Amino acid sequence: MSSLPAYLPARAPREAQPTRHVEPNRHIEPNRHIEIVATRVQRRRRPRIVYAIVAVVGLFVILMAQLLLSIALSDGAYQISSLQSQQKNLARDKQTLTESLNVLQSPQNLAAQATTLGMVMNNSGSGWLRLSDGSVLKSPTAAGTSSATDPNGQALVTNVLLTPAVTAQQDARMSTPAAGNPATATAGSGNADVASGSIPAPNTH
Protein backbone atom coordinates (compact mmCIF):
# COMPACT_ATOMS: atom_id res chain seq x y z
CA MET A 1 0.00 0.00 0.00
CA SER A 2 2.77 2.32 0.82
CA SER A 3 4.35 1.96 -2.64
CA LEU A 4 1.13 2.45 -4.58
CA PRO A 5 1.35 6.22 -5.15
CA ALA A 6 4.78 5.77 -6.67
CA TYR A 7 3.41 3.71 -9.54
CA LEU A 8 0.57 5.99 -10.53
CA PRO A 9 2.51 8.37 -12.72
CA ALA A 10 4.11 5.47 -14.46
CA ARG A 11 0.77 4.21 -15.74
CA ALA A 12 0.07 7.09 -18.05
CA PRO A 13 2.61 6.14 -20.72
CA ARG A 14 1.31 2.60 -20.64
CA GLU A 15 -1.83 3.71 -22.50
CA ALA A 16 0.10 5.32 -25.28
CA GLN A 17 2.31 2.32 -25.70
CA PRO A 18 0.39 -0.68 -26.94
CA THR A 19 3.09 -3.09 -25.97
CA ARG A 20 2.25 -5.93 -23.65
CA HIS A 21 2.95 -5.03 -20.08
CA VAL A 22 5.18 -7.95 -19.68
CA GLU A 23 8.13 -5.77 -19.10
CA PRO A 24 6.80 -2.39 -18.10
CA ASN A 25 9.56 -1.73 -15.74
CA ARG A 26 12.06 -1.15 -18.41
CA HIS A 27 10.14 1.83 -19.79
CA ILE A 28 9.43 3.47 -16.49
CA GLU A 29 12.81 2.77 -15.17
CA PRO A 30 14.10 6.22 -16.14
CA ASN A 31 11.35 7.94 -13.97
CA ARG A 32 12.29 6.19 -10.76
CA HIS A 33 14.97 8.52 -9.80
CA ILE A 34 12.38 11.20 -8.81
CA GLU A 35 10.36 8.93 -6.58
CA ILE A 36 9.54 10.43 -3.20
CA VAL A 37 11.08 8.31 -0.59
CA ALA A 38 9.61 8.35 2.85
CA THR A 39 12.03 9.34 5.47
CA ARG A 40 12.90 6.98 8.20
CA VAL A 41 10.88 9.08 10.63
CA GLN A 42 7.86 9.13 8.37
CA ARG A 43 8.09 5.44 7.86
CA ARG A 44 8.24 4.89 11.58
CA ARG A 45 5.15 7.02 12.08
CA ARG A 46 3.09 5.11 9.62
CA PRO A 47 0.40 2.86 11.26
CA ARG A 48 1.59 -0.69 11.39
CA ILE A 49 -0.63 -3.61 10.61
CA VAL A 50 0.35 -5.38 13.82
CA TYR A 51 -1.45 -2.77 15.85
CA ALA A 52 -4.60 -3.22 13.88
CA ILE A 53 -4.40 -6.95 14.35
CA VAL A 54 -3.82 -6.57 18.06
CA ALA A 55 -6.79 -4.23 18.37
CA VAL A 56 -9.13 -6.47 16.40
CA VAL A 57 -8.01 -9.62 18.16
CA GLY A 58 -8.24 -7.84 21.50
CA LEU A 59 -11.77 -6.79 20.72
CA PHE A 60 -12.60 -10.32 19.66
CA VAL A 61 -11.07 -11.75 22.81
CA ILE A 62 -13.02 -9.35 24.96
CA LEU A 63 -16.24 -10.22 23.20
CA MET A 64 -15.54 -13.92 23.53
CA ALA A 65 -14.64 -13.54 27.17
CA GLN A 66 -17.83 -11.67 27.80
CA LEU A 67 -19.81 -14.33 26.01
CA LEU A 68 -18.12 -17.14 27.92
CA LEU A 69 -18.58 -15.30 31.20
CA SER A 70 -22.22 -14.83 30.49
CA ILE A 71 -22.58 -18.49 29.54
CA ALA A 72 -20.77 -19.52 32.70
CA LEU A 73 -22.93 -17.23 34.76
CA SER A 74 -26.17 -18.50 33.34
CA ASP A 75 -24.89 -22.03 33.62
CA GLY A 76 -24.22 -21.24 37.27
CA ALA A 77 -27.81 -20.07 37.57
CA TYR A 78 -29.01 -23.40 36.23
CA GLN A 79 -26.68 -25.20 38.59
CA ILE A 80 -27.92 -23.12 41.53
CA SER A 81 -31.47 -23.79 40.45
CA SER A 82 -30.87 -27.52 40.24
CA LEU A 83 -28.99 -27.63 43.52
CA GLN A 84 -31.74 -25.65 45.18
CA SER A 85 -34.34 -28.09 43.99
CA GLN A 86 -32.11 -30.93 45.15
CA GLN A 87 -31.78 -29.27 48.53
CA LYS A 88 -35.54 -28.86 48.71
CA ASN A 89 -36.04 -32.52 47.91
CA LEU A 90 -33.51 -33.62 50.50
CA ALA A 91 -35.09 -31.34 53.09
CA ARG A 92 -38.42 -32.99 52.32
CA ASP A 93 -36.82 -36.42 52.67
CA LYS A 94 -35.37 -35.44 56.02
CA GLN A 95 -38.64 -34.07 57.24
CA THR A 96 -40.55 -37.15 56.13
CA LEU A 97 -38.08 -39.46 57.86
CA THR A 98 -37.98 -37.37 61.03
CA GLU A 99 -41.74 -37.35 61.08
CA SER A 100 -42.05 -41.11 60.86
CA LEU A 101 -39.17 -41.63 63.30
CA ASN A 102 -40.88 -39.41 65.87
CA VAL A 103 -44.06 -41.44 65.52
CA LEU A 104 -42.25 -44.76 65.71
CA GLN A 105 -40.39 -43.74 68.86
CA SER A 106 -43.56 -42.70 70.64
CA PRO A 107 -43.97 -44.52 73.97
CA GLN A 108 -47.15 -46.24 72.79
CA ASN A 109 -45.39 -47.84 69.87
CA LEU A 110 -42.29 -48.87 71.82
CA ALA A 111 -44.37 -50.39 74.59
CA ALA A 112 -46.64 -52.20 72.18
CA GLN A 113 -43.71 -53.56 70.18
CA ALA A 114 -41.90 -54.67 73.34
CA THR A 115 -45.00 -56.43 74.61
CA THR A 116 -45.48 -58.07 71.26
CA LEU A 117 -41.93 -59.38 71.49
CA GLY A 118 -42.89 -60.96 74.80
CA MET A 119 -41.27 -58.41 77.10
CA VAL A 120 -42.85 -57.43 80.40
CA MET A 121 -42.32 -54.25 82.36
CA ASN A 122 -40.51 -55.03 85.60
CA ASN A 123 -40.28 -51.65 87.27
CA SER A 124 -39.33 -52.88 90.74
CA GLY A 125 -36.73 -55.46 89.88
CA SER A 126 -33.53 -53.46 90.02
CA GLY A 127 -30.97 -54.25 92.69
CA TRP A 128 -28.84 -51.79 94.62
CA LEU A 129 -25.25 -52.19 95.71
CA ARG A 130 -23.25 -49.79 97.85
CA LEU A 131 -19.72 -49.72 96.56
CA SER A 132 -18.16 -48.21 99.69
CA ASP A 133 -18.82 -51.29 101.82
CA GLY A 134 -20.02 -53.75 99.19
CA SER A 135 -23.38 -54.16 100.86
CA VAL A 136 -26.49 -55.15 98.97
CA LEU A 137 -29.16 -52.52 99.67
CA LYS A 138 -31.79 -54.20 97.57
CA SER A 139 -31.65 -57.54 95.81
CA PRO A 140 -32.70 -57.64 92.20
CA THR A 141 -35.78 -59.60 91.37
CA ALA A 142 -36.53 -61.27 88.08
CA ALA A 143 -39.49 -60.14 86.07
CA GLY A 144 -42.66 -62.06 86.68
CA THR A 145 -45.20 -63.02 84.11
CA SER A 146 -47.31 -59.91 84.52
CA SER A 147 -46.32 -56.51 83.31
CA ALA A 148 -46.66 -53.23 85.19
CA THR A 149 -48.78 -52.05 82.31
CA ASP A 150 -50.55 -53.74 79.47
CA PRO A 151 -50.12 -51.42 76.52
CA ASN A 152 -51.50 -53.93 74.06
CA GLY A 153 -54.58 -54.70 76.08
CA GLN A 154 -56.57 -51.72 74.94
CA ALA A 155 -55.66 -48.60 73.07
CA LEU A 156 -55.96 -46.50 76.22
CA VAL A 157 -53.38 -43.87 75.42
CA THR A 158 -54.31 -43.34 71.82
CA ASN A 159 -52.15 -42.18 68.96
CA VAL A 160 -53.96 -41.92 65.66
CA LEU A 161 -50.66 -41.48 63.86
CA LEU A 162 -49.76 -45.08 64.66
CA THR A 163 -51.69 -46.44 61.75
CA PRO A 164 -51.27 -50.04 60.61
CA ALA A 165 -49.38 -48.67 57.61
CA VAL A 166 -46.83 -46.99 59.87
CA THR A 167 -46.28 -50.04 62.03
CA ALA A 168 -46.12 -52.27 58.97
CA GLN A 169 -43.34 -50.09 57.61
CA GLN A 170 -41.47 -50.69 60.83
CA ASP A 171 -42.13 -54.42 60.87
CA ALA A 172 -40.77 -54.72 57.37
CA ARG A 173 -37.51 -53.14 58.45
CA MET A 174 -37.05 -55.27 61.53
CA SER A 175 -35.11 -58.40 60.82
CA THR A 176 -37.64 -60.67 62.39
CA PRO A 177 -36.82 -64.34 62.84
CA ALA A 178 -38.59 -66.25 60.11
CA ALA A 179 -40.94 -68.96 61.22
CA GLY A 180 -41.68 -70.54 64.54
CA ASN A 181 -41.79 -67.41 66.68
CA PRO A 182 -45.31 -66.86 67.87
CA ALA A 183 -44.58 -63.34 69.09
CA THR A 184 -43.69 -61.95 65.72
CA ALA A 185 -46.60 -63.60 64.02
CA THR A 186 -49.07 -61.41 65.86
CA ALA A 187 -47.35 -58.08 65.51
CA GLY A 188 -49.60 -55.23 66.42
CA SER A 189 -52.65 -57.34 66.99
CA GLY A 190 -52.77 -56.90 70.77
CA ASN A 191 -52.19 -60.53 71.49
CA ALA A 192 -53.72 -61.43 74.83
CA ASP A 193 -51.51 -64.49 75.24
CA VAL A 194 -48.39 -62.42 75.58
CA ALA A 195 -49.82 -60.16 78.21
CA SER A 196 -51.33 -62.90 80.30
CA GLY A 197 -48.03 -64.60 80.77
CA SER A 198 -47.11 -67.23 78.21
CA ILE A 199 -43.78 -65.74 77.27
CA PRO A 200 -42.65 -67.23 74.00
CA ALA A 201 -39.27 -68.90 74.01
CA PRO A 202 -36.61 -66.79 72.32
CA ASN A 203 -35.55 -68.04 68.95
CA THR A 204 -31.83 -68.23 69.71
CA HIS A 205 -29.47 -68.58 66.81
Residues in the site for another protein, rule: CB under 8 A?
Answer: 73-74, 76-78, 80-81, 92-93, 95-96, 99, 102-103, 105-108, 111, 123-124, 126, 128, 137-138, 148-151, 153-154, 156-162
Q: Closest distance between another protein and the C-beta of residue 193, in Å?
A: 18
Q: Closest distance between another protein and the C-beta of residue 112, in Å?
A: 11
Nearer to another protein, 25 or 102 (CB): 102
CA distance 89 to 95: 10
Q: Closest distance between another protein and the C-beta of residue 188, in Å?
A: 15
CA distance 66 to 88: 32
Task: Estimate the crossing angle of helix 164-173 against helix 49-104, to 10 degrees.
Answer: 110
CA distance 113 to 156: 15
Nearer to another protein, 153 or 180 (CB): 153
Nearer to another protein, 35 or 93 (CB): 93
Q: Closest distance between another protein and the C-beta of residue 166, in Å?
A: 11
> Which residues make beta-bridge pairs with 130?
135
DSSP one-letter string for 41-56: HHHHHSPPHHHHHHHH
